[in-house]
Amino acid sequence: LAMASQTVIMIQPQFSAAQQPGEWQTGLLNACSDCGICLCGMFCFLCLNCQVAGDMDECCLCGSSVAMRTLYHTKYNIPVNFCSIWCCSPCALCQLKRHINRRRVMGIF
């Protein structure tokens, strides 16, 4: 009866995928890049709020919240700037919707 030699693995192989920091594809005040979203955000904020929430499979009441934007920041590794939410909520929501639309066109949303 021959015994096969057994190798004992002492260290497991590691896989590290450090995600590169992301960035917004349009600026906070870059309303002209999509006038339809801008008009919707300025004159029907709640409608745009519900569209964004629907895009992210979240409750309509959460669309413009800090939690919703934080979720998006985390998912796409975009640096957080909460001042944009508190100083100009419509602009921040429009920026988020433009980013979602562009990612969807690129097939990465």
**What is the structure's pLDDT at 43?**
93
Please provide the DSSP assignment of 60-75 as one string: GGGTTSHHHHHHHHHH
Q: Tell me the whole-structure pTM to 2 decimals.
A: 0.74
Give me the pLDDT at residue 13, please.
55
Instruction: For 3-62, list the strands marked E by DSSP.
Output: none
Calculate what percentage of the chain has a pLDDT beyond 90.
Answer: 21
- Please compute the mean of the pLDDT values over residues 6-34 and round it to a whole number: 69
Higher pLDDT, 12 or 40: 40
Give me the residue spans of the domains in the chain.
28-106
| Segment 83-100, tens digit of pLDDT | 777 788 888 889 999 999
- For residue 20, what pLDDT is reported? 64
